[in-house]
Structure 1
Amino acid sequence: MEKFANKSQKKRSCVCGVFTRAPRIKLDTDGRMQNEEDEEAELEVLAEFSHPVPWQKIEAQGLDLDYALLFSKEEADALFKQLEEEVMYSTGEEAKVQVFGKLHNIPRRQATYGDAGLRYTYSGRTHLACTWTPTLEYIRDAVTNATGHTFNFVLINRYRDGEDHIGEHRDDEKELDPVCPIASVSLGAARDFVLRHRDARGKRGARRLEPVKLQLAHGSLLLMNPPTNTFWYHSLPVRKKVRLPRINLTFRRILLISRGEEPANVWSL
């Protein structure tokens, strides 16, 4: 069911963690190319890099993922250490989640950062974004440079060890821009990431589709492209043999929606 392909076989390639998209050729009225200078400039930039970072495409029915190592081990180690010093995690009522109308302690630590005034509602609770820290800005900008997408919000989950986890869910909240992928950066212990099609969940699943299982490495970046979150649930299950902590940062683009406006309207933009 899973299909893997190097990103260089698609319409864009990746060099040193930076996507370089296939040149967009425009023709003038005489049918001649207009962007020869742009193409030459792009080739000069590519010539500066000598260690390409391969991307993998992971596809299934309604599933579209891109995976790569964004940071070297040394840089990932340094970023993890800096985040441990900078990030302030939620406490008290903010550290609880609503399930079937009842509040439960979250089996991990969470924090929300982003542009001023942004709010994000999930699991029955609304969270106000804290101001970006220098390290979060650095990682956000690295993700933007690697993907071509801009992000204004990040949800941070810290897992103390393999006992901490997150159950099956979809990131399909109304505030999220439906045309923007969710970019997931992993730092620390490698953990299994499991995706399951919505029609194959439970013992009475309507379809027989095998789950997709990935191991997210230290310093890696996973892009969950549309329409993945429409059809697939994802989770980070308990792994008791994992003894080390992990920090996961999921960068998102939140829409500034007026009260009473339906997010579906963004499709017409």
Structure 2
Amino acid sequence: MSENVKTITHFKNKIIKCITSNFEIIKIQFYFAGIQTIYIPTIFLENIFFSRSGILPMDKFLMRENENEDDATLLVNSISQISADACFITRKLHSNNDHFDVIYYKQILPKKLADSLLIYCEKNIKYFTGNLARVFLFNQWRPIPRKQMAMGHPNLHYRFSGNVIPAKPWNAVILALRNLVSEIAKCDFNFVLINRYKDGHDYIGEHRDNEKELDPSTPIASVTVGEKRDFIFKHYKLNHHPASASEKVCIALEHGSLLLISADTNRHWSHSLPKRRHCQNSADKNAHLK
């Protein structure tokens, strides 16, 4: 790997303690569904992933039931007041030779706002269960080692490991976050995947987001709220044999942070959120957007 691609190993932010919550991290990832298919670009929450979409009237896509309107309104107003110009890049890692290009914003959400978003998600996000909470691997169905749900435009789906994840209607809070991330990334997302990591035992293994529904030319945006967790990149050609520490890139995702992963990086590098034993009793949260 080129010398200008460096491993991110530490930051000075304090770990956020949210005593009202009982899970460790929420990862929110936004995607864009490919125009070559019948699907419109999508957004995912926890991880929350946003994908690019056309200009559409968004209000009709909102979901408002079972939601504390006062809390939601305060969050929407607070997120909407954040200017993309005020979100400063913490690290930019780039290497033409290795097809690696990611941008990390240590904090796009102020601490109190990130705390509120984490608590809001714990109270209001209803995660998939049953058949939607499993994947087909090694010739058998297995439970997903984390919780997931998705939001986005109508008729959008996300297919992976034998399962099809439907997009639920947007709610106002996640839509406001989508708008902020779209402004920062200069890419209109229409689908979000939300992943909830209860503790250090919950994880996601090495993978690339190469499903046919996703536009291969657009980035992935990942927002994190909660416990700091390591996000590991590994060059795809190295997945079949052990890689040294210098052949991996580790980014410690902070509470309220944003990570932008370029399309080229997603093609040539896998990514993962590995298990971390020291997090198993943590009540902190982490939300990650791709």
Q: What does residue 238 of structure 1 align with? A: 275
Code of the aligned partner of 1:3: N
Instruction: Check if 1:138 corresponds to 2:146.
Output: no
Measured at CA, do residues 116 and 99 of structure 1 come closer, stay the same or move farther in structure 2, by a change above 3 Å? Answer: same
CA contact (8 A) 1:118 1:128 kept: yes
CA distance in 2, matches of 1:52, 1:106: 33
Q: What does residue 65 of structure 1 align with? A: 102
Measured at CA, do residues 208 and 201 of structure 1 come closer, stay the same or move farther in structure 2, by a change above 3 Å? Answer: farther
CA distance in 2, matches of 1:49, 1:212: 26
Larger RCO, structure (CA 8 Å, separation 6 or more):
2
Map 1:8-19 to 2 at 5 A. Answer: none
From the CA coordinates, give the structure whose radius of gyration is larger: 1
Measured at CA, do residues 134 and 249 of structure 1 come closer, stay the same or move farther in structure 2, by a change above 3 Å? Answer: farther
The secondary structure found in structure 1 opposite 2:176 is helix
The secondary structure found in structure 2 opposite 1:64 is strand
Structure 1 runs not aligned, ≥5 long: 6-47, 252-269
Match of 2:153 among 95, 100, 115: 115
Q: What does residue 213 of structure 1 align with? A: 250
Instruction: Check if 1:184 corresponds to 2:218.
Output: no
Measured at CA, do residues 214 and 204 of structure 1 come closer, stay the same or move farther in structure 2, by a change above 3 Å? Answer: closer
Q: Among all aligned residue pairs of Structure 1 and Structure 2, give the percentage whose two residues are the same amino acid.
A: 38
* Count of matched residue positions in the alignment of Structure 1 and Structure 2: 208
Code of the aligned partner of 1:53: F
Match of 1:87 among 122, 125, 128: 125
CA contact (8 A) 1:4 1:56 kept: no
Q: What does residue 98 of structure 1 align with? A: 136
CA-CA distance at 1:101 after TM superposition: 2.8
Instruction: Check if 1:168 corresponds to 2:206.
Output: yes
Aligned-residue Cα RMSD (Å) equals: 2.4
Measured at CA, do residues 203 and 187 of structure 1 come closer, stay the same or move farther in structure 2, by a change above 3 Å? Answer: same
CA contact (8 A) 2:93 2:101 kept: yes
The secondary structure found in structure 1 opposite 2:289 is strand
Structure 2 runs not aligned, ≥5 long: 7-82
CA-CA distance at 1:81 after TM superposition: 1.1
The secondary structure found in structure 2 opposite 1:78 is helix
The secondary structure found in structure 2 opposite 1:151 is coil
Code of the aligned partner of 1:237: P
Measured at CA, do residues 83 and 200 of structure 1 come closer, stay the same or move farther in structure 2, by a change above 3 Å? Answer: same
CA distance in 1, matches of 2:178, 2:199: 25
Question: Greater share of strand residues, 1 or 2?
Answer: 1
CA distance in 2, matches of 1:170, 1:209: 20
Q: What does residue 248 of structure 1 align with? A: 287
Code of the aligned partner of 2:4: K
Code of the aligned partner of 2:287: N
The secondary structure found in structure 2 opposite 1:3 is coil
CA distance in 2, matches of 1:106, 1:142: 29
CA distance in 2, matches of 1:105, 1:208: 30
Instruction: Check if 1:195 corresponds to 2:230.
Output: no
Measured at CA, do residues 93 and 247 of structure 1 come closer, stay the same or move farther in structure 2, by a change above 3 Å? Answer: farther
Q: What does residue 91 of structure 2 align with? A: 56
Code of the aligned partner of 1:215: A
TM-score by structure 2 length? 0.66
Q: What does residue 3 of structure 1 align with? A: 4
Code of the aligned partner of 1:87: I
Code of the aligned partner of 2:157: R
Measured at CA, do residues 203 and 142 of structure 1 come closer, stay the same or move farther in structure 2, by a change above 3 Å? Answer: same
